[in-house]
Amino acid sequence: MKPLVSWVTSACVGFARACVVVAVAMLVPAVWAAAVALWFWWGGNPWSWIGPFVWASIGTAALSRPVCRMVRSLVAKWTGTLIPAGYREATPVTQMSTGYWWNGFSYSRTSKDARREQRLRLWWSDPATWRDLRFTAIVPITIGVIAAIPPAGAVAAVLGFSQPGSARVGAVGLVVAIATAPYAWRSVEPVAVRLLRPSSAMALADRVDELTAQRADTTIAQAAEIRRIERDLHDGAQARLVMLGLSLATAEKLMETDPDQAKALMREARVGAATSLAELRELVHGINPPVLNDRGLVDAVRTLAMDSPLETSVSADVQPRLEPPIESALYFGIAELLTNAVKHAHATRGRIAITQDDTGIVVEVEDNGRGGADERAGGGLAGLRRRIAVFDGTLEITSPAGGPTHVRMMVPCASL
């Protein structure tokens, strides 16, 4: 009984999906069929085909991308296979000092004109546009024809049983519809994966753009870090060292006339030297903690957890040492997340897990704060994503309102 119920369910679901696939695949042919019908309706004029042809071409261009997006969505929903779109993203338009707007291609008087021209130029120059047009031309005679078998069988069954003497045709149509319903729609996945995935040239162009953006982000981050170090040195240790030199010079002059005052200045200089040394050590610790260099990521994270106001547990299953840049990126990423948990989420407990799998090293940070972590442009989480993206790493954030917040960082690592 259960196999029969399963078969009936599969047939019903398959028939519905086949109908959806036919409807999507035949959108563009329906436009051309309407154009042909309009041409015949305008018959008698030798130039009457121009208008329907133009409108059908415009309709095809306008429907190509929505059709491809619907096919990707159906494949992802039904099979779980994600097909990257590979469309080129529009860059923000910029107003120049002359008052004109630059859209990456040309100047325009208004931002609206700049965006409109940008969309047209981007659509025309994007290789994905021609890939989508090719797909909309091929899909009716591949996916559409195969998926149309169950609906065609159902139509034949209805017509056959409704006409006297055509019961055999109706029975054949019913058998065809039921037998092919669970399988006819499945052709959409291999065809879509083959024709809709980005080409190697498109993937390479996207990778170049991504690496260019990462290089720019890295350059900006390095410049900001250098300015921070210079500011800390100038306002802290450098000022104290200058005062230390003045105190020593004054003590040297007073050594003969006022030894007690000279000794007091020497004591102040010693305190200043100790303070400057502590500030320099703190600055060096902020640049690259010594424990990270000496003992590796796991011990550095355990030290960080002990210094954190959170009650933080650390579990680790990473034996070999990682590359120093990766260890540094993960260490400061964890430090950023713990700081956010204390400062913004008002958490009291945290958990850090460092593991390794077949893809690389995985770091999970969780806190019991109020949640609602938002990755804003220019914020700490966006900076963290850019920092690990340099190593092809990924960042996943789960932070519902009310908590808890769970962050997963994964970085591919050849040393594992």
DSSP string, 301-369: HHHHHHHSSSEEEEEE---SPPPHHHHHHHHHHHHHHHHHHHHTS--SEEEEEEEE-SSEEEEEEEE-S
Separation of alpha carbons 383 and 375, rounded Å:
9
Residue type, 364: E
Work out the number of other CB atoms within 10 angstroms of the CB of residue 207: 10
Structure token pair of residue 296:
């590796």
Backbone φ and ψ for 151, nearest 5 degrees, come out as: -60, -40
User: Would you give per-residue pLDDT tens digits along the chain (416 residues)?
Assistant: 566 667 677 778 888 888 888 888 888 888 888 888 888 777 656 677 777 788 888 888 888 889 999 999 888 888 888 888 878 777 778 777 777 888 777 888 888 888 888 888 888 888 888 888 888 988 888 888 888 888 888 888 888 777 777 777 778 888 888 888 888 888 888 888 888 887 666 666 666 666 666 565 655 555 565 666 666 565 556 666 666 676 667 767 777 777 777 777 677 777 766 666 666 666 555 556 667 777 778 888 888 788 777 788 888 876 667 777 778 788 888 888 888 887 777 878 888 888 887 778 888 888 888 877 777 766 677 777 777 777 778 888 888 887 788 888 888 875 44
Buried b (16+ CB within 10 A) or exposed e, 102-111: bbeeeebeee
3-state secondary structure of 154: helix
81's tokens: 């296979």
Task: Report the pLDDT value the prediction gives residue 415, as an integer from 0 to 100.
Answer: 47
- Distance between CA atoms of residues 384 and 271, nearest Å: 38
* Global pTM value: 0.54
Closest CA to 360 of 334, 327, 383, 336: 327
In angstroms, the CA 410 to CA 288 distance is 21
pLDDT reported for residue 117: 86
Q: Evaluate whether 398 touches 366 at the Cβ level (below 8 Å).
A: no
